[in-house]
Structure 1
Amino acid sequence: MITLRRYYFCVAAICAAAVIGISGCAMNTKAESAQTQADASQPESAEAATVVEAVTGPIESMEETPNEELQPVRIYGSASHMEDGRLSIDNRSGVSAEGEIILNISQESTLILDAVSGTPLTLEDIQDGETIYAYIGPAMTMSLPPMTNAAIIFANIPADFKVPDYVEADSVITDAGSSQTVLTASDGTEYILAEDCDIFPYLTRNIVTLDDLTQGKNVVVWSGDDNTATKIMVFAE
């Protein structure tokens, strides 16, 4: 009887050990699975997450490139005086604002020239209703009528007369074979200098030559319909 009891006790112990072993394996399996999931959910290290791509070719600065300085715009039309010393011009050039434009006239920065000779004039020399050519700055107010500054004005214009151009010189090149000299303005306009082209300074007795037509120099060019320059007036720096 004691032997049978011992037998049953041994069997129960063996079964209990088996159950504990199975449970332990199951717990280990769950723990390993949980650890795997935890490892998968963890973010990669900063070193592993950083992707560095090679950059080839030139690298351009992100800074804005300064805009090139804008040149004056030429307009024309009939002029009339205003009480505040300004001029009103009825712009018919098809350039800039159409219709009335108010021109600011400055004694320090506005030149009023005779269109034929290039000699200076005064504001009072311009008659109401007279057609004038004006080179104006690129900046203009949004008012009605718009307002802008006048850099140079040509007046006393004869009928059917080609008004001279106010330009900035870019280059002067003389062809060795033909001895032909070409003045190129900063806007790309080319003038062929006549053999007897008169080059003279503005309001001085200084002697100026082709060598004085350097890049950036402001000049007034009188030319024919074929852009052959017959006379060039050079402004001082």
Structure 2
Amino acid sequence: MRKRICKLLSLLLCVAMLAVPTAGASGGGTQNTPQELKMLEGTLSRGTGGLLSVTDGSGEKTIVHLSESTRVVNAQTGAAAELDRVKDGETVRMYVRPAMTLLPPAEAVAVLALCGLSKSTPAPTYQQAVAVDAVDESGITVTTSKGGQMTVSSSAKVMPYQTKNVVTYRDLIPGSWFLTWLDGGAVSRAVLFPYDGLPFTDVAKDYWAYDEILGVTSKGLMRCNETLKFRPTDALTRAEMVQALYHMAGCPMVIQSMPDFTDVQGGGDYINALTWAVGNKLVGGYKDNTFRPDTPVTRQQMAVFLYRWEQHRGGGFKGAWMFLLDYPDRDSISDYAYEGVAWCTTNGILTGRADGTLAPGTTVTRAAAAAMMQRYLSRQASAQSTD
């Protein structure tokens, strides 16, 4: 008997140790790793002590635990609801996380509960946005944690959960959880939930460029991957830069012919952006007729890209200008880049480094690129407000 008790205690200890996360597993100190939730639909029943269970169509029962953060929504109106008012035998849909149990029946913790389901209309779907693919005046397209895409048009009704805040489709940022109702394949309504965690698994809240990274990713200029990793220290590539410019322009219709660079004929998710950028003379290729999409962008090249876009919009230096930049390494700035670098430094978009140098030929990281883009957009917004 004593041996059996010891074996059982050993088993429980092993299970408990497996349940403890490894130190640093959250990556960058964040807690918003996309959750793998299971959808559970069936009839609700209450046992002794208010114990909730859901029995699905196959007769399998799951004990459901609620927490202070469990969200309850009326599936017809999108308004916050109370699960206490749901009668035994009514059908509910729950999005749950499995609870650690050794014996049947299965147990789970409810993240979201949908009540008031109707047989005549489909229930809304609950998902998390991990990246913004496009956003403009017509609406927003996001990639969800399941790998699919969802478009919420500007005409869709967007509501907040349990608050009176005014929200729009533009508040659907990486990491957001949301409910959507479909009408004929198009999103007719959406409920956005409070942002209760950090959006990136590799960018901590106190990271120097956190706000800038959040700003450009929520506008679709730069992307996270499917695990909400932004890769802040990776180099920005030429393909990523033209995509950023294209989204900055609002993803206009591409009417130009695809450029004949020899290294882009296989296609890629940047082809539309590249075609548009080449057609508008924002970017060119190399003498060997290549574009080199994976080549890292330097600080001076980044400045040139942004300056060309500014000129395309009708801005930039006007008339004759010439001055020497106050950096000890100014002579290392390439001739083609000097005007763009001068304009970006004058407007606070490109700044010097801690040692006082400009380092124009140094590779720009994705975090630094995000900071430059956000500074440019802030300047653009300020200029428009004073017009």
TM range (shorter): 0.5 to 0.7
Paired with 1:179 and 1:196, the residues of 2 have a C-alpha distance of 8
Q: Within 5 A, what are the aligned runs for 1:3-42? A: none
Match of 2:106 in 1: 146
Contact persistence 2:98–2:107 (CA under 8 A): no
Higher strand share: 1
Tell me which amino acid in the other structure corresponds to 2:42. G
Paired with 1:217 and 1:69, the residues of 2 have a C-alpha distance of 10
Find the partner of 1:235 among 184, 193, 213: 193
The structural deviation recorded for 1:193 is 2.3
SS in 1 for 2:84: helix
The reply to whether residue 85 of structure 1 matches residue 50 of structure 2 is: yes
Identical-residue share of aligned pairs (%): 26
SS in 2 for 1:169: strand
Match of 1:105 in 2: 66
SS in 2 for 1:206: coil
Please, what TM-score do these two structures have when normalized by structure 1? Answer: 0.62
The reply to whether residue 71 of structure 1 matches residue 36 of structure 2 is: yes
Aligned residues: 168
Find the partner of 2:117 among 134, 157, 160: 157
The structure with the largest alpha-carbon Rg is 1
SS in 1 for 2:48: coil
The CA RMSD over aligned residues, in Å, is: 2.7
The structural deviation recorded for 1:192 is 2.7
Tell me which amino acid in the other structure corresponds to 1:120. A
Cα 1:215/1:180, change in 2 over 3 Å: closer
Cα 1:225/1:127, change in 2 over 3 Å: farther
Contact persistence 2:128–2:145 (CA under 8 A): yes
Match of 1:173 in 2: 133
The reply to whether residue 190 of structure 1 matches residue 155 of structure 2 is: no
Cα 1:172/1:69, change in 2 over 3 Å: closer
The structural deviation recorded for 1:221 is 1.4
The structural deviation recorded for 1:87 is 1.4
Please, what TM-score do these two structures have when normalized by structure 2? Answer: 0.39
Find the partner of 2:164 among 205, 219, 224: 205
Higher helix share: 2
Cα 1:69/1:197, change in 2 over 3 Å: closer
The structural deviation recorded for 1:160 is 2.5
Contact persistence 1:102–1:146 (CA under 8 A): yes
